[in-house]
Structure 1
Amino acid sequence: MAGNSRRRGAMRKPGTKKGMQVGSGGQRRRGLEGKGPTPRAEDRTGHPAARRAAAKRKETAAQSARRQRPEPGRPGATETVAGRNSVVEALRAEVPVKALYVAERIDSDDRVREVLRTAADRGLAVLEAPRSELDRVTGGAVHQGVALTLPPYDYAHPDDILTAAEEAGEVPLVVALDGVTDPRNLGAVVRSAAAFGAHGVVIPERRSAGMTAGAWKTSAGAAARVPVARATNLARQLRAYQEAGLFVIGLDGSGEVEVGEAAALGEPLCLVVGSEGAGMSRIVHQACDLVVRIPIARSVESLNAGVAAGVAMYEIARARR
């Protein structure tokens, strides 16, 4: 019927026609080309292999960060104490604290209350943080909602120990540790040094324990009174002490005389203690003026460094009295 084309819906609008259109060959050709090779499983978002690859990359990055982070006890290193029991023990031992981290909405118990009470009494900085931040600060350790960060230990110079003895008008007594890698042994030596009047402890920069939280706790607060110094080369430092007038005595099971029988105990002295297993190194052994021993029962092979140093310092203190 004439004019029927004007009826609504009688004609399609341009661009809505189904089927082939003029110039559509390019579209069809591109549709047949495909989307390229199938991505690897590791590159597909949400694929289990992709999640495993991401976790591996994260662990590799964490290991790299740990390698770059200074070792606890080394100069410039900031140590973290994590866990409620560990934090309570560190605060009881009056370990120096940089900041206390407490998780948001933490479930409080006797340990948490003691931590917060001690922090308030000592005027420590308390930071409330989400658990994700505590995970980052502690490096993923089990922290139970509380953690401490310790400032880097301020090591003295080996010469400062002699200066302190001279200013006090006392006969110098220095304790040097060779190859002692257990922080608890270092803390025990520092505690004995404070008990028997030693003026300081010297440790080498390499292959030695540093003043970590464990060493602080074992020292029972003595680390705040007895300086710990680092020597770049222990044998060279012993020779420097000899030039300054100190008599260097090494402690070893094969010593020439018993420690209580040594005639030089009343002189300016440097006592060298090696590790329980290997003892003193050859070069340090050669640098000693005299090597002494502690008389022990044959059924006991050796004493650990902390106990041996304490016994030797007691003999020195007794001889000086």
Structure 2
Amino acid sequence: MKREQGTADQAEFVYGHYASVESLKGTQEINKVWLQTGLQDKIRNEITQLAKKRGLVIQQAPKSKLDELTDGGNHQGVVLSVAAFAYATVDDLFDFADAHHEAPFFLILDGIEDPHNLGSILRTADAAGVHGIIIPKRRAVQLTATVAKISTGAIEHVPVARVTNLVNVVGELKDRGVWVFGTDMSGDDYRRWDAKGPTALVIGNEGKGISPLLKKKVDSMLTIPMVGHVQSLNASVAASLLIYQGFNSRHPL
């Protein structure tokens, strides 16, 4: 799979037990491993074995050093210095679906800005068998250490393509036989959504939703009915509900 490297020059860090294990088992380039002095043996042994298999340098460091590297994040005594996160291409996403002998199921994130939302969406996407995520290069969160941490390792298993123009990409997907669905306050009840065929789901920005130009390109709109006082959901929660409706239609009981 060809990957486009991220453009950030400064070091990225993956931290936390599970996120670090998945990174060490994956293919991302890792420069160095920090382990907290006095770390419990079970975690220390697991990280050490995985690091040695890849010939990585292991550095012992006090908790204060790891706190500094992660800006006070919950590192659980493990920090990895990694190369910039790599991005897939749209073709890679189709290849990933073909490798699983399944009709493509993609997510398109239109201006998601919160890294916690992207990390959570990645985690759900991995669990539900989504074949890839497409994000814009500008005015949206990119793959970062925080995203990796929140995804608990899913960032290693769900390819993410970064594109210049989402409207053009949606046109390309439709030309390749993919049905594209958006999300809006008015639309078809998502519980009737059938995502069996080649499908892409657009999740809009946390505050503004889907951009007007992109709305004009989708084939159909889906809505999540609500009866409470708060008529909106967190972007990652809404995405999870929709992703699993897609899963349910593809894998009925």
Q: 1:220 aligns to what SS in structure 2? A: coil
1:42-57 paired onto structure 2 within 5 Å: none
Match of 1:242 in 2: 174
Q: Of Structure 1 and Structure 2, which has the larger fraction of its residues in helix?
A: 1
Q: Structure 1: which 5+ residue stretches go unaligned?
A: 1-72
1:166-245 paired onto structure 2 within 5 Å: 166-245=98-177
Distance 1:250 1:88, change over 3 A: same
Checking the alignment, whether the CA contact within 8 Å between 1:183 and 1:209 is kept in structure 2 is yes
Distance 1:130 1:307, change over 3 A: closer
Q: With the length of structure 1 as denominator, give the TM-score of the two structures.
A: 0.63
Match of 1:285 in 2: 215
Checking the alignment, whether the CA contact within 8 Å between 1:193 and 1:313 is kept in structure 2 is yes
Match of 1:257 in 2: 188
How much has 1:80 moved relative to structure 2?
3.7
Instruction: Considering Cα pairs closer than 8 Å and 6+ residues apart, tell me whether 1 or 2 has the greater RCO.
Output: 2
2:243 corresponds to 1:313 = yes
Distance between the aligned counterparts of 2:154 and 2:20, measured in 1? Answer: 14
Q: Deviation per CA, 1:105-142: give whole Å up to 9, x if none.
A: x9x3446x7775444221253365999xx79x959x67
How much has 1:201 moved relative to structure 2?
0.7
How much has 1:89 moved relative to structure 2?
6.5
- Computed over aligned residues only, the root mean square deviation of the Cα atoms, in angstroms, reads 3.3
Q: 2:109 aligns to what SS in structure 1? A: strand
Residue in structure 2 matching 1:299, options 209, 226, 229 = 229
Identity %: 29
Greater Rg, structure 1 or structure 2?
Answer: 1
Paired residues in the alignment total 235
Q: Deviation per CA, 1:154-197: give whole Å up to 9, x if none.
A: 21001211122234321111111011011221121112112222
Checking the alignment, whether the CA contact within 8 Å between 2:20 and 2:80 is kept in structure 1 is no
Checking the alignment, whether the CA contact within 8 Å between 1:260 and 1:316 is kept in structure 2 is no
Q: Deviation per CA, 1:282-310: give whole Å up to 9, x if none.
A: 11112211111111233123112211111
Q: 2:87 aligns to what SS in structure 1? A: coil
